[in-house]
Amino acid sequence: MSETDARKVAPTAGANPASSQAEPTRREGVLPVIVVVIGLIIAIQIASFYLPPFVMPAPLTILYATIDILRTDYMHIGVTALRLLVAILFAMVLGIFLGIVMGVFPKIRPYIRSLVIIDTGIPALSWMLLAIFWFPQPEVRIFFIMSVILIPFYALSIFDGIRALPRDWVDMIESFRPRRWQVLRYLILPHIVPYILSTTKSVIGYAVRMVIFSELIASTLGIGSRMSLAQSMFRIDTVLGWTVILIVLNLLLQTALTALEKQLLKWRAEASVR
Partner 1 sequence: MSSEKEAVISLKNVDKSFGNMVVAKNISMSVKSGEIVALLGQTGAGKSTVMNMIMGTLRPTGGEVRVAGHDPYNEFDKLRGKLAVSFQTDRLLPWRTTVENTELGLLILGVPAKEARERALTWLKRVKLDGAENKYPHELSGGMRQRVSLARALCVDPELILLDESFSQLDHVTSKALREDFAKVARQYNKTCLFVTHRIEDALEMSDRVIVLRPGAGIALEQSIDDAMRADETRLRELHQTIADRMGSGPAA
Any contact of residue 267 with partner 1 (CB under 8 A)?
Answer: yes
Out of 109, 201, 209, 268, the only residue in the binding site for partner 1 (CB under 8 A) is 268
Q: How far apart are CA 25 and CA 13, in angstroms?
A: 27
Q: Tell the burial category of 241 from Cβ atoms under 10 Å away from its Cβ (0-12, 13-18, 19+).
A: buried
**With binding defined as CB under 8 A, does residue 168 bind partner 1?**
yes
The SS3 assignment for 136 reads coil
Binding pattern to partner 1, positions 127-166, x when CB under 8 A? ----------------------------------------
Q: Considering only the stretches 41-49, 142-150, 180-188, 253-261, report the one whose residues sit in contact with partner 1 under the rule CB under 8 A.
A: 180-188
Query: DSSP assignment, residue 236?
Result: H
CA-wise closest residue to 160 among 186, 192, 131:
192
**Could you give the CA distance from residue 48 to residue 153 in angstroms, rounded to a whole number?**
40
97 binds partner 1 (CB under 8 A): no
The answer to whether 3 and 117 have CB atoms below 8 angstroms apart is: yes
**Among 73-81, 182-190, 228-236, 251-259, which window interacts with partner 1 (CB under 8 A)?**
182-190
The stretch near partner 1 (CB under 8 A) out of 109-117, 127-135, 175-183, 247-255 is: 175-183
For position 72 contacting partner 1 by CB under 8 A, the verdict is no
Question: How far is it, in rounded angstroms, from Cα 62 to Cα 68?
Answer: 10
**Torsion angle in degrees (nearest 10) through CA of 252, 257, 260, 264:** -170
Kindly state the smallest distance separating residue 189's Cβ from partner 1, in Å.
10
| Minimum CB–partner distance for residue 183 and partner 1 (Å) | 9
The residues binding partner 1 (CB under 8 A) are 18, 168-169, 171-178, 182, 186-187, 190-191, 193, 267-269
